[in-house]
Amino acid sequence: MAVALGPRAARRLLLLVSALKPGLHVPRAWPAASFGSSVTSAKVAVNGVHLHYLRTGEGEHAVLLLPGMLGLEALTAALVCCVVCDMFMIGLFLGSGETDFGPQLKNLNKQLFTVVAWDPRGYGHSRPPDRDFPVEFFERDAKDAVDLMKTLQFKKVSLLGWSDGGITALIAAAKYPSYINKVVVWGANAYVTDEDKAIYEGIRDVSKWSERTRKPLEALYGINYFARTCEKWVDGINQFKRLPGGNICRHLLPLVQCPTLVVHGERDPLVPRSHADFIHQHVRGSRLHLMPEGKHNLHLRFADEFNKLAENFLQ
């Protein structure tokens, strides 16, 4: 079911979406981030919920972009923080396909790839339901992601996953090996340490965030839902610390069979190098690519370099 972006979302979009379908025009706001071809926005029923996604390109190679926390609409504000203000923290926790991946939606080769960016359930336009975080929420997202792409009639897909989306991508590759072509992940972790938990606790109370960061997100989600979901996310991710080895998906990494590229920004203050090394060491045959100046949002700050890296790997 195709849907038009609501007027509130349109006013807040910082990306120029060029040549959108009728009724989905977004006013010009940031030409540097304009998409290069037609982009459709739609919702489809998957596993009992209606999942929102964007789709662009016409290539035979299907690619799903998996964001972090909070969903497609939210990263309009996050992109401002990540790219303009360098508030890299928001990129980790407030993920969205639309603006988490603006340079990828715009510039990945439209002849080679069909690119889809989605809102996981409870985020962005994939509501209702409200987001919750049972211990299996990453596995649930992985199943939703795969079933979304099957519903869209893609026979096989590659995954580009950032942060939480990287965890989801690794789980999907392990659990649905015949369906996943290739995987690129960055800013992901397979377990939670005491250091990680301290970082997560530091963002629990959104009232302590800078007003410049907080206000646009409150406007997008509503004050209560935004604050409540961030708290629930912290509790959800911290529950893994109580498991042996802080396990999120470390036990699944040896099951990943597809070619996998692990990208790490060496200046990422949120995800230590040890997490990238662990994934690289435990996913058989994976490649590790280090970006010396990259932070958590390396695919936004160094979009051209990242896109070239991803395209070369995916081909």
Q: Which residues pair with 287 in a beta bridge?
A: 261
Q: Report CA 252 to chain centroid distance, whole Å.
A: 20
Beta bridge partners of 264: 290
What's the Cα-to-Cα distance from 229 to each of 10, 71, 174, 181, 226, rounded to whole Å?
Answer: 23, 11, 28, 32, 5
Dihedral pair phi/psi, residue 63, rounded to 5°: -130, 125
What radius of gyration do the chain's Cα atoms show?
A: 18
Catalytic machinery residues? 163, 268, 296
Contact 145, 64 (CB under 8 A): yes
Find, among 94, 64, 61, 60, the residue nearest to 76 by Cα.
94
Residues paired with residue 57 on neighbouring β-strands, in sequence order: none
279: CB partners within 8 A, 6+ apart: 170, 185, 188, 189, 190, 253, 262, 286
